[in-house]
Amino acid sequence: MLKTEGINAHLLEKFTPNPGARPLLPALNAKAQVALMCRMLRREGWDDHIAGHITVRQSDGTILTNPWELAWDELRASDIVTLDRHGKVLDSDWNVTPALGLHLQLHELRPDANVVIHNHARWSGIWADLQQVPPVYDQSGAYCGVELPLYDDYTGTFEKQQTSLSAAEALGDAKWALLANHGALVVGRDLRQAHLRVVTLEWRCRRAYEVKLAGGGRPLADAVVERLAMADANGFPFLWEAMARRELRNDPSVLE
């Protein structure tokens, strides 16, 4: 199991994605990676029909995103849309949701936020509707730290520029947030980091709800959570690849 002190601590800080001769994944272009991310997160419970969007800023300033018309479990690499920094579609006949304004503003405000993900998720959505921040009860809910902002000024969907801007500014430099009566928002440096944040958030929220239903428990001490949270720096070793392989086994056409 994960140790945060002693001989194993450096593994989370300096691991290499493929230490052996056998590749963990086939070569994947940028659009294939975004399509896989959609499939992977849908399996985690980020699955409100055709709602939800992922944006990934590229090194040239363009942004990749999922189209509005397709659910996360059906889209393929060729469906991923390229946008300019203002949200104009550059290479697709698909549409994108007007609610992407929040993402575009976050990309502008946050140089570190190359990935922005939003959905009305299953377990984090419960806590967003309760307008409460779930405690951390176990290791798998601790990988990204204690602090979880709750944005509680929801006045409607994010099509209006001022509404999305106020939410983007309220996030500050946080890595994730619960949006009261709405859903969850996660940002990250890259897909690996954002993936770990999403799965950690959902696990944390699920466990906290289950413990609450069971009559309550004793959360982990904040100091313990912060020691475990060193995984957040790079993403948990090999997790992204393992979950990507699961999706490839389930439906190899995601790469088309």
Q: Tens digit of pLDDT per residue, the chain (256 long)?
A: 333 343 344 444 445 555 556 788 999 999 999 999 999 999 999 999 999 999 999 999 999 999 999 999 999 999 999 999 999 999 999 999 988 988 999 999 999 999 999 999 999 999 999 999 999 999 999 999 999 999 986 555 555 555 556 667 778 889 999 999 999 999 999 999 999 999 999 999 999 999 999 999 999 999 999 999 988 987 888 999 999 999 999 999 999 9
Residue 31 lies in a domain: no
Residue 214 lies in a domain: yes
The total number of structural domains in the chain stands at 1
Residue 27 lies in a domain: no
Residue 160 lies in a domain: yes
Segments forming the whole domain that contains residue 234: 38-251
Residue 199 lies in a domain: yes
Q: How far apart are CA 214 and CA 233, in angstroms?
A: 33
What is the amino acid identity at position 97?
A: T
Q: Are 9 and 234 in contact (CB under 8 A)?
A: no
CATH of the domain at 127: 3.40.225.10
Residue 22 lies in a domain: no
Residue 11 lies in a domain: no
Residue 47 lies in a domain: yes
